[in-house]
Amino acid sequence: MKMFTKMKIGDFAKYNQISVQALRYYESIDLIHPIEIDPFTNYRYYHIKQSAVIDNIQFFQQLDFSLTEIKQIMNDTKTPTELNQVIENKKATLQAELKSIQHQLAEIKVFQEGALIFQEKQFNKAIEFVDFPARWVFTYPTRQNIYQMTEEEYEFSLREFKSDLTDLRKFNCVGSIMPRTSFVDQSFLSKEFFIFSDQKTTETRLLPKGTYATYYCHSFQEEIKMLPLFQHELADQGYQIIGDYICEVLYEKNKTSDVNRSMFIRMQVPVSRS
């Protein structure tokens, strides 16, 4: 095995499935050094037994440790307690990343469901009754009636809501809530935006589970036109309004050239038979 006493950097890299550039970088940050550098040719030589170091580095990289952390683990953790603390710190980081990924997957699912409902219901012109589970929402009060805002006032109001959120990932498909009395007496006054939350917190409000009458439309202008018709139709069918009216924005997908906001709305209000 004398051939392995000194290996050129290219051969050592090949045996360890690593690039020459990576080995040179590891040397520059004092992670692993060649056993010899030819003073005349500047060729670098490694020993096959240094492969154990490379194995460790690659293993820790698969666990998402940075090279700085790897160097600390391999060279600077002198006691099991120190090593355990580095590992616990990495576990906490990965758990936070996992939580973030799970949130992203949940948001992707919601977006996909909205797109599928749009495809199925975009031409629907009939009232439907849907049983919803309890839902939690973040709300934000507005100074004026949402249904009397200009499009510009509406967008500025959304900016205020957005600036109030600590987690901007949630800012999508902003709906509104109208008190039951305002829907019933047809004053149609709404001063509350909302977005859905995936959990109950001290900042969220509950939308009760129950049977909701629903109707689909494609803009606030269409919604405003349909509100009195929606209310009359439910009354004519013998339904009692038992909770606040919800304007749920199911789906938004704006072209980059769009100026006006594109949305698909599910009008909804909890009902019971009179």
Strand (E) or helix (H) holding 143: none
Q: What percent of the chain has pLDDT over 70?
A: 98
Nearest C-alpha neighbor of 189 from the set 244, 250, 241, 240: 244
- pLDDT surpassing 80 at residue 2: no
Mean pLDDT calculated for residue range 61-73: 94
β-bridge pairing 245-251 and 264-273: antiparallel
- pLDDT surpassing 50 at residue 268: yes
CA 36 to CA 7: how far, in whole Å?
Answer: 10
- pLDDT surpassing 70 at residue 232: yes
The pLDDT of residue 198 is 84
> Domain residue spans in the chain?
2-76, 122-273
- pLDDT surpassing 60 at residue 9: yes
Which is more confident, 14 or 253? 14
- pLDDT surpassing 90 at residue 165: no
Nearest C-alpha neighbor of 167 from the set 133, 205, 199, 134: 199
Ramachandran assignment for 173, one of left (phi > 0), alpha (psi -120 to 50 degrees), beta (any other): left
- Cβ neighbours, 10 Å, residue 114: 20
- Residue pLDDT, tens place only, 98-115: 998 998 899 899 999 999
Q: Band of the pLDDT at 23, cuts 50, 70, 90?
A: very high
Rounded to an integer, what is the distance from CA 60 to the centroid of its chain? 28
- pLDDT surpassing 50 at residue 1: no
Task: State the chain's mean pLDDT as an integer.
Answer: 93
Is 135 within 8 Å of 156 (Cβ atoms)? no
Please state which of the four CATH numbers 3.40.50.2300, 3.20.80.10, 3.30.70.2170, 3.50.50.60 is assigned to the domain occupying 122-273.
3.20.80.10
- pLDDT surpassing 90 at residue 167: no
The pLDDT of residue 77 is 85
The first and second tokens of residue 55, run together, are: 């194995």
The pLDDT of residue 112 is 95
- pLDDT surpassing 50 at residue 219: yes
Going 68 to 73 to 74 to 78, the CA torsion angle's sign is: positive
- Residue pLDDT, tens place only, 28-57: 999 999 999 999 999 999 999 999 999 999
- Residue pLDDT, tens place only, 186-215: 999 999 999 998 888 888 999 999 999 999
Residues 6+ apart with CB under 8 A from 239: 213, 271, 272, 273, 274
Across 146-158, b (16+ Cβ under 10 Å) vs e yields: bbebeeeebeebb
Q: Band of the pLDDT at 263, cuts 50, 70, 90?
A: very high
CATH architecture entry for 2-76: Orthogonal Bundle (1.10)
- Cβ neighbours, 10 Å, residue 11: 15
CA 24 to CA 26: how far, in whole Å?
Answer: 5
The pLDDT of residue 166 is 78
Give pTM, 2 decimals.
Answer: 0.78
Nearest C-alpha neighbor of 167 from the set 111, 118, 212, 104: 104
The distance in angstroms from the start CA to the end CA of the chain is: 92
